[in-house]
A = this chain, B = another copy of it.
Amino acid sequence: MTKASIITIGDELLIGQVIDTNSAWIAQQMNKIGIKIIRRIAVGDDWDEIWTALDEESTHADIVFITGGLGPTADDITKPLLCKYFDGKMIINKHALENVTTLFEKVFNRPITERNLKQAEVPDTCEVLVNTRGTAPGMWFEKNGKIFISMPGVPTEMKGLMEDKVIPTLIKKITLPYITHRTLVTFGIGESMLADLLEEFETKLPNQIKLAYLPNFGMVRLRLSVIENNQEEAKELIDRLFSELSIIVKEFLVIMEDAPMEKALASLLIQKKQTVCTAESCTGGYISHILTSIPGSSVYFKGSVIAYSNESKVNLLGVHKETINQNGAVSEAVVKEMVKGAIEKFGTDYAIAVSGIMGPDGGTIEKPVGTVWIAVGNRKKIFTTELKVRFDRQKNIQVTAVNALNTLRIFIQNEL
């Protein structure tokens, strides 16, 4: 199987100023076409470190992806290094120059500088991959039977180059095996309990099949993977095992694909041709945000009221002042009224309401940080549940959102 390694370049990666999302995306794409990523490595804008990484990764892998370090500023040293590493000399590339000029004239509407023009310079030992989304061209090198592909670190530019140029070329050049994964999502059961439940299933798995447990926000994703040269056989095998797996974990099954909770709820709403809105306090719009991250969500999602203050709960959702005074804003009674008010205002079939204390401050002895009330319902019925979350603010918001979405998902499923 063809092995690849990813080198990401930039001091910002090593002081933790940016999170590397490029590697994950490249890995996903390679995984789809049957190239195995065996290592991912990040190094700084440092000549020796980059040089060593190129040496080392090309002994481990057949293909080395390189992202970053190609910007127009002085801290970007990757291009001169690649020029030397691949025994070339710098020349102006006509296509890259045309691209830079066009971008500045037609898209950016900014005057072009000397610095930008220099971005059209490339080592004469590479094949240029013109980057229509930015000024730094991609570069394809080959040395001692290994392929090295250098791309800018800006995610949209890297993705564009991969999709337009790199992936099609790799598919043409390399004989690839059949590799596939099937993932399902469970909720409400821990990793160890799942492993016990699946012990028999796991023991009898054939060699070419791998099962992985991926816990996240109270969900555990189960992933079956197969690598085979015979596509027909592999496909049949993994389909059968995936179906077996889904039956064993039926009670905890959220969705039969690698999708987030909002996708599971969205599928259900689309299937039922029904709509939802949210009334959020502590999650501050996060539930609304993840529901609308899905393209086409306007079909089932109508809107939200983010009622961060007590007055807005009263004025926008019709929560009674006395309900808040008697129970506090974080209470079963208030989230119930929030559901009613939201359905009323948005005219949806269902609503989700949450109110809680996400921390780090705002807790009391009676209602400590992490106390959350969730209500979901329709015009006829409202279901409530209390949650205790115990992470940092960001994760408390995320876990609350996943729980709230899941609560409505089960509410709707129980109606079916």
Contacts and interface: CB of A to CB of B under 8 A. Distances in A.
Contacts of A40: 13-14, 41-42
Given A304-B304, A395-B156, A23 B16 contact: yes
B315 A308 contact: no
A412 to B, nearest CB: 20
Contacts of A213: 71, 73, 75
Interface in A277-330: 277-278, 280, 283-289, 291-293, 295-298, 301-309, 311-312, 315-316
A296 B361 CA distance: 7
A207 interface: no
A196 B114 CA distance: 9
A75 B391 CA distance: 26
A309 B303 contact: yes
Nearest to A44: B38
Given A210-B11, A288-B288, A308-B302, A193 B113 contact: yes
B113 A192 contact: yes
Interface in A198-240: 202, 210-216, 221, 223, 225
Contacts of A12: 212, 214, 223
A154 interface: yes
A56 interface: yes
Given A12-B214, A359-B295, A108 B190 contact: yes
Interface stretch (A26-34, A84-92, A122-130): A26-34
A416 interface: no
A307 B312 contact: no
Contacts of A286: 285, 289, 292
Contacts of A247: none
A42 B43 contact: no
Contact of A223 (B17, B21, B258, B297): B17
Given A49-B38, A292-B285, A391-B156, A25 B16 contact: yes
Tell me the dominant secondary structure on chain A's binding face. Answer: mixed
A207 to B, nearest CB: 14
A191 B72 contact: yes
Given A16-B27, A308-B298, A392 B156 contact: yes
A181 interface: yes
Contacts of A395: 155-156
Contacts of A115: 192, 195-196
A394 B108 CA distance: 21
A1 interface: no
Most buried by B among A36, A212, A391: A212
Given A304-B304, A311-B346, 17 more contacts: A12-B212, A13-B40, A16-B25, A16-B37, A17-B221, A20-B24, A38-B46, A39-B43, A71-B191, A71-B213, A73-B192, A156-B391, A277-B312, A284-B293, A284-B297, A285-B285, A305-B305
Interface of A: 11-21, 23-29, 31, 36-46, 49, 52-53, 56, 60, 71-75, 108, 110, 113, 115-116, 135, 154-156, 181, 183, 190-193, 195-196, 202, 210-216, 221, 223, 225, 258, 277-278, 280, 283-289, 291-293, 295-298, 301-309, 311-312, 315-316, 345-347, 359-361, 391-395, 397
12 contacts: A14-B39, A18-B214, A20-B23, A41-B42, A72-B195, A73-B195, A286-B289, A297-B308, A298-B309, A315-B345, A316-B345, A316-B346
